Structure 1
Amino acid sequence: MHLDFVKEFGVSPRQSQRSRKSDFVYFGLKERIIIGDLKPGQTIGEQQIAVDYGCAQGTVREALIRLDNNGLVIRNDYRGTQVSPLCRNEALQMVLIRKQLEKAAARLVASKLPDEVYHNLKLIMNAMYCTAQDGRIYLCSEFDRRFHGLLFAQSGLKGLEPILNRCAIHMHRFTLSGRTEKVNADDVFQRHSHILECYRTGTPEEAAEAISEHIDFLIKTWILNGTEEAV
């Protein structure tokens, strides 16, 4: 179902609101993979997906290429397309890479956020709060990736943006797959509000520390989740 994100929240979780059919297929399949509806190793048949979404197989193929670039599927000329594996260690390594990327960006962005970007980030935070409160956990994760992606974009490290996005997608896939319970909306809002204010008025080291603490919390709470693995 299409959502008018701008009308509902004042902002979209995505960088653009393109209406190409392949976008619809891409976002639909991405959600199903991240929440665990499509399981690791499961084959994705282009013909069946084309029927399900009422589109041409070429449109499905375009969406699958994008999912392959995200690391969510593995494409093979002979065996077709399968959902990629999912494991704790890979998720942990990706979130550690994400931590280093965001700390580096924080040092570049601190005290330099344009007012318009700050306003958009506040809108995204409000959308995260609303979707978390309503139990729309996947949509909340989309807004979370938009929040961190927009902050990172201010650093000018454009070549690293796809890496950050891929790391964030896989962290959310590991933490959301099969999850049904809500997240704490107040906690989500407060943690991101602290990050935003440190980026806006803090020193480079204060901004880097804020994002580092946030990601350490995610590692401990969602990735390790009581295991004895060390970060």
Structure 2
Amino acid sequence: MAIESIDTSSIPTMVPRQSSRRSHALFVALQKDIVLGDLAPEKALTELDLAQRFQCSQSTVREALMQLHEEGLVIRQPNRGTHVAPCNADDAAALLRIRHEVECSTLDRVVARTQDALLADLRGLLNAMRNAARDADEYLLSVYDRAFHLRLFEAADLPLVTPILTRCLIHNHRYKIQRSQPNRALDETAERHVPIIEALAARDEAALRPLLSHHILTIVDFGPDLTLQGVST
């Protein structure tokens, strides 16, 4: 599969495009394979194999792998090569706790800075999620879901924290997708964002806080081993 054949036009950018167009397209393709489990946890990845698979240079592969490493989707170690990162319950629980703290503890800043442009963007991303759900595309729905929460957090104006939230989101969704049953209620997943937009539009922080907290804590049925003990909703 040539790298030019990968269509990324419908996928919102989740990281700054500091690399070439070709390496970004490869990053998007590999990110999808890892999140869906097509590249299994712990699988070894070599630059030569990936360059041959995607018909691109090894330098292009290297740039893409560096971006994936920044997201924690691959682990690169000297003399040990590159491997797909694990996807286990303990990591998922820890990242969910961090995500909950980051999003819910900054809502005062978000509400205070909410403007019509933010609400319009969130409604547009909601419609994109609805379209993905209609097409039964769980991965694309998850991409727009992540974009929704990053756009919401953007209003908090805490750019140094954004990479932390980005990593939490991608791993939350990876864990969820790899443990979900086929043909889940994707429409319901999209519609879960409606009350968040409504509370934000009303600038009602008191209503928004428990809504967002519940939304995050119920992203997936983690089970008793991953409950967030002591987290106020």
TM-score normalised to the size of structure 1? 0.88
Alpha-carbon spacing, 1:14–1:26, altered in 2? closer, same or farther (3 Å): same
Task: Choose between structure 1 and 2 for higher RCO, CA contacts under 8 A separated by at least 6 residues.
Answer: 1
Cα pair 2:35 2:177 within 8 Å, conserved: yes
1:66: how far off?
0.8
The equivalent residue for 2:88 is 87
Q: Counterparts of 1:190-229 in structure 2 under 5 Å?
A: 190-218=191-219, 221-224=220-223, 227=224, 229=226
Shift of 1:207: 1.9
Unpaired segments ≥5 residues, structure 1: 6-11
- Mapped partners of 1:59, 1:26: distance in 2: 9
Q: Deviations over 1:132-188 (max 9, x none)?
A: 221111111100000000000010011110000100111111111265613323322
Judge conservation of contact 2:106–2:156 (CA < 8 Å) in 1: yes
Is 1:104 the equivalent of 2:109?
no
Question: Equivalent residue for 1:130?
Answer: 131
Structure whose residues are more often helix by fraction? 1
User: Which letter maps to 2:111?
Assistant: A
Paired residue for 2:3?
none
How far the C-alpha of 1:198 sits from its partner, in A, is 1.2
Give the whole-Å Cα distance in 2 for the aligned partners of 1:180 and 1:24.
Answer: 28
Say what the alpha-carbon RMSD is for the aligned residues. Answer: 2.0
Match of 1:172 in 2: 173
CA distance in 2, matches of 1:131, 1:150: 18
Identity, in percent, stands at: 32
Structure 2 CA distance for partners of 1:2 and 1:216, relative to 1, 3 Å:
same
Work out whether residues 136 and 186 of structure 2, in 8 Å CA contact, stay in contact via their aligned partners in 1. no
* Residues 17 and 229 of structure 1, relative CA distance in 2, 3 Å threshold: closer
Conserved 8 A contact 2:92-2:175: yes
Which position in structure 1 is the counterpart of 2:231? Answer: none
Q: Which residue of 2 aligns with 1:13?
A: 12
With the length of structure 2 as denominator, give the TM-score of the two structures: 0.87
> Separation in 2 of the partners of 1:172 and 1:42?
19
Residue of structure 2 equivalent to 1:61: 62
The answer to whether 1:2 aligns with 2:7 is: yes
Q: In 2 relative to 1, CA 178–104 (structure 1 residues): closer, same or farther, beyond 3 Å? A: closer
SS of match in other structure, 1:159: coil
Q: In the alignment, residue 58 of structure 1 is paired with which amino acid?
A: S
